[in-house]
Amino acid sequence: MDKRKAQLIVALDVGTLTEAKKLIKALSRDVEIFKVGSQLFTLCGPQIVRDLLKAGKKVFLDLKFHDIPNTVANAVEAAVGLKHRDKTIFMCTLHTQGGKEMLQRAVEAAAKASQAAGVKRPLLLGITVLTSDAKEDSIGNLVLERALLAKEAGLDGVVASSQEAAMIRQRLGDDFIIVTPGIRPAGAEAGDQKRVTTPAQAQANGSDFLVVGRPVVKAENPSRAATMILEELDR
């Protein structure tokens, strides 16, 4: 496997818009991609996405769409509509448990909406198994099964633990994107995450993007915490 340089995504998992803006400003020089999840999107709505786009940042919209195919297709179309000038969201997530038809309808909706809006289609990622689930003998097979489904449906990649990344990379090739949450620098608390690895381990296993939340967001100096992760990846 060719070693690839993973990119850092900082999860804006905070309780107020003020905290989010403070973090974005503090990390502006070091971080290009920010994750907006259920907590912040519920609190701030589309405005936080547009604020990030206006600031020249890329947005990973992690709302994990999972519903009937028509509803998910409409949600993806709406997500593409969260744009600023010629930029829209960079990535968004869907639960592979929604099934092949749901995933395919999402791909079709994203392509159609992006063309109509004159923007680049966002990357669509399938959720495999959450990293808060404990490691079991059957998890590897389940993750691979869902990753294969995602590729068959036309998705660009999956969200998966670093512990399964090497297996996915081997089976699905270099062009399939792997986004890995549950990243914990050496010495950091795992919290409620069960299947965690360090940034260097995740990169070595084939992950393309590493999602880091609390180790950066809760750090006394978030900018320094992000810089240390980037330095680890460079090494």
Domain of 211, CATH number, reads 3.20.20.70
Overall domain count for the chain = 1
For the question of whether the overall pTM of this predicted structure is more than 0.85, the answer is yes
- For residue 1, the model assigns a pLDDT of 37
- For residue 235, the model assigns a pLDDT of 80
Alpha helices in the chain (DSSP H): 17-26, 38-44, 46-54, 69-80, 100-117, 139-152, 162-172, 199-205, 214-217, 222-234
Residue 77 lies in a domain: yes
Residue 1 lies in a domain: no
Residue 2 lies in a domain: no
- For residue 140, the model assigns a pLDDT of 87
- For residue 192, the model assigns a pLDDT of 46
Tell me the pLDDT of the chain (235 aa) as tens digits.
345 678 999 999 999 999 999 999 999 999 999 999 999 999 999 999 999 999 999 999 999 999 999 999 999 999 999 999 999 999 999 999 999 999 999 999 999 999 999 999 999 999 999 766 555 667 889 999 999 999 999 999 999 998 899 999 999 999 999 999 989 876 555 454 455 789 999 999 999 999 999 999 999 999 999 999 999 898 8
Domain that holds residue 11: 7-234
Quote the CA–CA distance of 208 and 222 in Å, as a whole number.
Answer: 22
Long-range pairs, 1-6, Cβ under 8 A, ≥24:
1/166, 1/169, 1/170, 1/206, 2/174, 3/203, 3/204, 4/174, 4/203, 4/206, 4/208, 5/203, 5/233, 6/199, 6/202, 6/203, 6/207, 6/208, 6/209, 6/210, 6/233
Residue numbers annotated as active site: 64
- For residue 4, the model assigns a pLDDT of 65
pLDDT in tens, 182-218: 898 765 554 544 557 899 999 999 999 999 999 999 9
Residue 50 lies in a domain: yes
Q: What residues have CB less than 8 Å from 217, skipping those under 6 apart?
A: 10, 11, 12, 13, 14, 23
| Cβ–Cβ under 8 Å, residues 93 and 159 | yes
